[in-house]
Chains A and B, each alone.
Chain A
Amino acid sequence: AQSVTQPDIHITVSEGASLELRCNYSYGATPYLFWYVQSPGQGLQLLLKYFSGDTLVQGIKGFEAEFKRSQSSFNLRKPSVHWSDAAEYLCTSNNAGNMLTFGGGTRLMVKP
């Protein structure tokens, strides 16, 4: 069965610092991969997605992610974090129809 792993449960960065959130998937073929962000009390908002083609994908709010098949990873990055980026970040994959498999999430805290 496919699985998605986010190794970091919590991450704290200083405002203005760079950010990388890790995501690993396990599946034989190339899955469809997504990153969602969830602010407190809110639903999930799609940041970006990867289906095929260019392995570096750009998303909203200045985020980007890179698909690396050799490492089974789809890490999320942002060059300079803003205080408003503090939230829960969820990596997910879709490789069987419309069924999503979610990672455990990474909670990002931003220090002033």
Chain B
Amino acid sequence: ETGVTQTPRHLVMGMTNKKSLKCEQHLGHNAMYWYKQSAKKPLELMFVYNFKEQTENNSVPSRFSPECPNSSHLFLHLHTLQPEDSALYLCASSQVGGFRDEQYFGPGTRLTVT
């Protein structure tokens, strides 16, 4: 596998369910990100992890809980979501170290909350 992979690609869950999204990067990067892409809204940054430490939480509700066990894996744990949380969730990675390089994105998980 190369690049950034995300599983599952599609997820339908009820408001009382608990599920997790997984992201894995095979690029040797040291930073990982979660973004939310809703219809008719710009891409929104949710969380940033640099060297496995969370450095940014963009006022995301606590029903979204990220986890970064190592520099290659990133999870987004979901519980008691709302229908407005239905969106495409994108994971990205980059190499951070004094140079603002581009981020590499995964294909996303299409989440539908019923």
Contacts and interface: CB of A to CB of B under 8 A. Distances in A.
- Using C-beta atoms within 8 Å of the partner chain, give the interface range for chain B: 20 to 34
Secondary structure at the B interface, as helix, strand, loop or mixed, is strand
Contacts of B4: 43
Secondary structure at the A interface, as helix, strand, loop or mixed, is strand
A32 B100 contact: yes
B43 A102 contact: yes
A97 interface: yes
Which of A44, A94, A103 has the largest number of chain B CB atoms within 10 A? Answer: A44
B64 to A, nearest CB: 18
A100 B103 contact: yes
A105 B4 CA distance: 22
Interface in A51-105: 51, 90, 92, 94-95, 97-100, 102-105
A97 B96 contact: yes
A25 interface: no
Nearest to A96: B100
B100 A43 contact: no
Interface residues of A, number: 24
Contacts of B41: 104
Interface string B71-114: 00000000000000000001010101000101111111010000
A2 to B, nearest CB: 13
B21 interface: no
Interface of A: 4, 32, 34, 36, 41-46, 49, 51, 90, 92, 94-95, 97-100, 102-105
